[in-house]
Amino acid sequence: MKTSHAFRTWTSGKAVFVGIAGICFALSAQAGDGAAPGIIRTQVVVTFDDLNLASPAGARTLYARLKSASQQACGNRPDARDLQRFRDYKACYEKALDKAVHKVDSAQLQALHRKSAESTLG
């Protein structure tokens, strides 16, 4: 099955919306939902009004929430033995997380994200 992803993240006050819109050629939308056939839309709201993003602890907590939301929005991690699905999931997850971190616009959060990305590469 061929999949294409478009990503959306946006902030509203103290919430980040992490989402994807994927076109799956083997799937069709339910009748009457107003979406085009074959479009899957997933959005996950992450709130952080309870966090102080200037603190390392607050940034770590939000980063964990964003990672979890990105995983949910991308359909959870498939078995690594299914290489194409795993690659698609990984690309979706990384892009959704990157966009969400960027939208929050917190230096602490961005530093944590860079450090996490560097440790994954090396």
Give the residue with greater pLDDT, 76 vs 74. 74
pTM value > 0.85: no
Quote the pLDDT of residue 80.
Answer: 83
Q: Tokens representing 88?
A: 């698609």
In this prediction, residues 64-82 reach a mean pLDDT of: 88
Range among 1-10, 30-39, 76-85, 94-103 rated most confident: 94-103
Q: Which residue type is seen at 86? A: F
Per-residue pLDDT of 75-84, as tens digits, reads 878 888 889 9
Query: Which residues, other chains included, contact 36 with Cβ-Cβ below 8 Å and sequence gap of 6+?
Result: 29
Provide the residue range defining the domain that includes 67.
3-121
Q: How far is CA 105 from CA 76, 98, 108, 116, in A?
A: 26, 11, 9, 17
95, 70 Cβ separation under 8 angstroms: no
* Domain count across the chain: 1
- pLDDT of 115 > 90? The answer is yes
Helix (H), strand (E) at residue 118: helix 107-121
Of residues 120 and 71, more confidence is placed in 71
CA distances from residue 68 to 32, 54, 90, 122 in whole angstroms, order as listed: 30, 21, 13, 23
**Residue 66 reports pLDDT greater than 50:** yes
Checking if the pLDDT of 35 tops 70, the result is no
